[in-house]
Structure 1
């Protein structure tokens, strides 16, 4: 199968987990015998075109005027990005035929739709998260509602929609009305070798960050839905049970200064280290901790849970979204209710108090990662989705065209209030 990937993230552009996913999946698909071309945005110093692990990577330069990737100009930035991605993909199509387009999230929706119509090939879309989910069901501003409508459009026009968990299958069905039979659950994967810690670096990290007590960690983007505020709020109670405990917060994001302010207001400046992005040092730093905590309020999947398991580190995670499908209480980790600092403190304290049991669960989680979440397995499942999309493309397009002729494009109505709560009702 010859696949054209569209993604706004790809190394060296790494904002969240999407870039890592696209990199690993495209490489695994090539190893499985597929041909993959990734069209993405250019980054200073990166090659405009190259082969990376057998994947053809085309990086398109931004069009002027140059917008910033921020709230006021986000939609304008996205439209400009889609123009340059479309032109780059069409040039690629002139030299290599494609069987399927694989779009990753709403930021490439307009390019994906243009290419689908121009090339006449099926469109597969991975919905990594939703705007309603990221905002706990609320769409408070015009930008949020615009993103939601783009997600709805892309999901409904795709031949197949891929999601990373059964929770996300429910969410996409409920929010966008995509029939269950057109939604495929294909989990994210992890390469255990990439998360193998270096003993020397691990020892150095332990000396750098740990004090006289235990060391716990968080890794991820510093945004509200990741729940770091709940972890910091719970820290005094955990330290009361485990004197000298310290916390590493690895990552960056728009909520960093608020989190630093919260830390200072609780008098925890000496107990919390904000490290920023750690890059290649992250596996060793994670392995240096006594436990990693995933306090997410909204989590479609929870890549960091898999990565933690791959390092052999005990994990405590919020029982929300896709995390519930990864962390099995008492077997591969421990759970606590999301957005509940008191429960978080109780569970993390229990995990730290029984190191033997914590390490037993961590070893089990390592085996589960290898058995269920290898990229080779994920690539095979993705290949089957492509085959299904290609086999059913003509009937899907015909039925869609008939529907539009008969009824016109259905009007998207965005109800007031919490969309996730309304969807569950």
Structure 2
């Protein structure tokens, strides 16, 4: 597997996804190697939780991401990632290359060609989707081209939802027969908060006489936190003492802080038990995204036992059933958000029912062993397709050989 983030280096949900998938595959008996970016203090190579992890160190030359343009940095990163992956290839026998998103595309193509094995690509999100179809700068259009290239070159493409399947097929002209929908998974046990930690988070973040709502994620425009902040005055009017915690960091943080009002706390990046405790301490967890391919964090909050309110968009619309496992609201509409969250806060029995049913669905439909098995099925289809390709190419070569020589070769 090739990924630009992997523990202990985590930027968003992709790193958690790759880690859970890799370790679950290893626990099922598969040999898994992850090649990723080096993190300060981490080993360059180790076996961790059954997974061989190789971390590519940065080259001395520095390439900074400026004004949202990650292309120079990504291209430099792919050079060191490729060298590290080729070193892994010398000591392993691999059946498939699995690339996670465009940031590893160049390395994935090189290693695919070097090993002559099929390439599977997971498209976690698209540049067009992140920008609502608007690609204003050359680097946005270049990223879109790399995504199209990766999806087109992959033997099979994995997406996390029907919404993303439609998007990838529409944007990149990938045939439906080559796209597999495999949802993201959630480790329900890992997201079950400890009671003492929940109590501590409640004391730290909640007011003495009001409810607590929370959000966690990368602070970028498409996550829609600006609409949650716009809804806070109405929520505080209906629920005096209400507090809101925004956990996460990102390029949009300063602008969001300028939009915030009384009762809002920016907690920065929270990981591990700190995030789980915040979710467990919350009376409602809000996912206000404008664009969301899946919405794994909504399932993580559900696993923590917290009722969720989500924007009715993308993959979120598929994983939350309104009034049954959560509540939904129109994306980009602060009034609708306030009404949905208010319906949870005003009826605690209803909220407990939502949380209980959502937690059960996480256990039944999104446990990692089932997700890993579906991914292995995609690997099998990719290998079968690649074997048929090799057979066709061999037959084509033989068809061009003179009859007498072909007989001798046969």
User: Would you call these one fold, judging by a TM-score over 0.5?
Assistant: yes
CA distance in 2, matches of 1:309, 1:204: 20
CA distance in 2, matches of 1:43, 1:173: 35
**What are the superposed Cα offsets for residues 60-80 of structure 1, whole Å, 9 maximum, x if unpaired?**
111231212444762111111
- 2:407 equivalent in structure 1: none
Distance change in 2, residues 1:296/1:235 (3 Å): same
Q: 2:265 aligned to 273, 276, 281, which one?
A: 273
CA distance in 1, matches of 2:117, 2:254: 46
Q: 1:53 aligned to 49, 52, 72, which one?
A: 49
1:213 lines up with 2:210 in the alignment: yes
Of structures 1 and 2, the one with the larger relative CO (CA 8 A, separation 6+) is: 1
Moved more, 8-17 or 71-80: 71-80
CA distance in 2, matches of 1:145, 1:206: 44
1:241 lines up with 2:234 in the alignment: no
CA distance in 1, matches of 2:331, 2:393: 40
**What are the superposed Cα offsets for residues 206-261 of structure 1, whole Å, 9 maximum, x if unpaired?**
11111121110111111100000000001111111111111010111111111110
Deviation at 1:193, TM superposition (A): 1.4
Q: 1:257 aligned to 254, 279, 283, which one?
A: 254
- 2:221 equivalent in structure 1: 224
Q: TM-score, normalised by structure 1?
A: 0.90
Moved more, 190-199 or 227-236: 190-199
1:160 lines up with 2:143 in the alignment: no
SS in 1 for 2:90: helix
Q: 1:188 aligned to 184, 190, 193, which one?
A: 184
Distance change in 2, residues 1:8/1:100 (3 Å): same
CA distance in 2, matches of 1:231, 1:171: 26
Q: Is the 8 A contact 1:159 1:396 kept in 2?
A: no
- 1:331 equivalent in structure 2: 324
SS in 2 for 1:15: coil
CA distance in 2, matches of 1:132, 1:396: 32
- 2:83 equivalent in structure 1: 87
- 2:402 equivalent in structure 1: none
1:201 lines up with 2:193 in the alignment: no
Q: Is the 8 A contact 2:69 2:139 kept in 1?
A: no
Q: Is the 8 A contact 1:121 1:393 kept in 2?
A: yes
| Equivalence map 1:263-412=2 (5 Å) | 263=260, 268-269=261-262, 271-280=263-272, 281-396=274-389
1:104 lines up with 2:90 in the alignment: no
SS in 1 for 2:245: strand
Q: 2:63 aligned to 64, 67, 73, which one?
A: 67
Distance change in 2, residues 1:398/1:233 (3 Å): farther
Q: 1:173 aligned to 169, 176, 184, which one?
A: 169
SS in 1 for 2:294: coil
SS in 2 for 1:35: coil
RMSD value, Cα: 1.6
Distance change in 2, residues 1:336/1:240 (3 Å): same
CA distance in 2, matches of 1:221, 1:400: 46
Moved more, 250-259 or 68-77: 68-77
- 1:408 equivalent in structure 2: none
Larger Rg: 2
Q: Which runs of 5+ in 2 are unaligned?
A: 395-410
CA distance in 2, matches of 1:253, 1:396: 44
1:120 lines up with 2:99 in the alignment: no
